[in-house]
Structure 1
Amino acid sequence: MIFDTGLTRSNLESFLHCTTPSAKSKFLPKSEIRNLNRLWHPQERENVEYFTLSDLWSSYDEWSAYGAGVPIMLNDNETLVQYYVPYLSAIQIFTSNSPVNSLREETESGDRDSFSDSSSNVSESDKLWRWDGCSSEDGGSEQDSGWHVNNRLGYLYFEYFERSTPYGRVPLTDKVKGLCGRYPGLMSSRSVDLSPASWMAVSWYPIYHIPMGSNIKDLSTCFLTYHTLSSSFQDMDPDDDINGAKRKRKEVDGISLPPFGLATYKMQGDVWASGNCGRDQEKLVSLLSVADSWLKQLGVQHHDFNYFTGIRRG
């Protein structure tokens, strides 16, 4: 069985292409352009495009329900389609506004998320503030995170780090719907208002392939993709890099968010790494390095990344 959609790309390129979300593009009213954070948007522009997080999540609806189909070329020149389901692995959203009021909400266990109140002490903005997160089951953080409040990084509005086993997770769209009830910014936030430090990671687990019957170890490979959520990178040329990873600005049907980082698990053969005359192997190494660098720069421990890469903590 041959699928024309996958013939012009290597298997790795096919996966990256088929799992890249694209959100509907909107234009910022000219009256609002002057109010943009100039540290995050230093270039003067007449037209500013952005997307809302709700439109981004919409691009995952079908994949969450049925899986994202990825055409894969096998060694015998036959092609099958492997389906992957996306799960929200991690997310951090930084904004220009203090989240003190918006995130003081009751959790299911009756505890409150605690923040430093910058209005109570003139030097508070120079201190580390901490969100004592709750468990993944009630939609908060899986870890404590300390951040300097500054103009460049912004304020942490929301973070989530999944720690459940793959079998205990719900697909990305269902997870986001469960979280947005208490954190409406997960739907209403605009990419143009988010700090360059805003990001998410999506874990992709294989569920089945068509036609069935192929017994190839690499078909059990799992992926972890990293995506920026900020419009700060949308002005980049297609050949520009984000920490060494090339990023396309947009596609015809919207703003595309290809991964700037990648990690894999259970990659046991050459299905994914043998394409492009060895360049796919180089790309895998490069994207893994970028993901590692990104997490280190933000000072976070990403459970799935540690697991995928064999890092065991505690």
Structure 2
Amino acid sequence: MWTGVLFALAAGLMWGLVFVAPVMLPACPPALLTTGRYLAFGLLALPLALMDRRALRELKPADWWEAAKLSAIGNFLYYLTLSAAIQRAGAPLPTMIIGTLPVVIAICANHRNRVRDGQLPWLKLLPSLALIAAGLALVNRDELHHLQAGDGDFRRYAEGALLAIAALACWTWYPIRNADWLRAHADRSPRVWATAQGLVTLPMAVVGMAIVGVAHVAAPGVLTPEGYAFPLGAQPLAFVGLMLAIGLLSSWLGTLCWNEASQRLPTSLSGQLIVFETLAALAYAFTWNQRLPPPATLAGIALLLAGVVWALRIKPVKHAA
């Protein structure tokens, strides 16, 4: 169990990096951030696949189809909506909306996988939900204060919130389905499954990059800003370096660590440990901006942690099939 918790912590530290990428490259459109990240992921998976070619050949067509679905929704659609949300509303709000993943996944998995993993008593989950809701209210109050003071565009803030909710839905679906496959194939290597997802991501990324390129020429301003230096932008070295870094660390290594955790822990428990991603993302964002979190954000983080710690103390009850 503790090995699984440590793998979940490592995955959170890796995934937190993706929240600061849109902040580090604010002029880069979300479509290019998404295709660039997963193009790097797919290319990096090619040499990794050589090491596991024998195990990869053992995967059946149904397994590759499952990997493709997981990559399309849990990778492409998730990061496209998340990066767009961050660029519209800033990092704190989308980060805290995604921060509800521990409870959202726990609620979904608690019902869906109650026979396989046991069930967390619903009444014991209510205090955890209340603590996390209070934490979100505190953080959003601070953000809304800036909007009311004329420091932001309320429409962009609302659009960012809706996009973050769409990202939340994508990543609620992904870990549950991913854990289903890993638990059903306990004899398979989590590393091989991470590499398989990278391989099926590559053609998607190539097609996605081509679509962005065509749109850039035929309809400037739709997917890329007018005058944007496609495909690498005004900071080509920063773009390539950042895409390779998050492609290796966040996509492949993060997925590997998460697969290891998912194979060891009940889904309702591993889902709650995504809080490590939220905390890492907040830490990276405030470090990049060279400022301390305001008191309301600190209080919200404390309540978020308290809610997840409360949930972690609840033991699953065996459910009769």
Question: TM-score, normalised to structure 2's length?
Answer: 0.25
Which one has a larger percent strand, Structure 1 or Structure 2? 1
Q: Which has the higher contact order (CA 8 A, sep 6+)?
A: 2
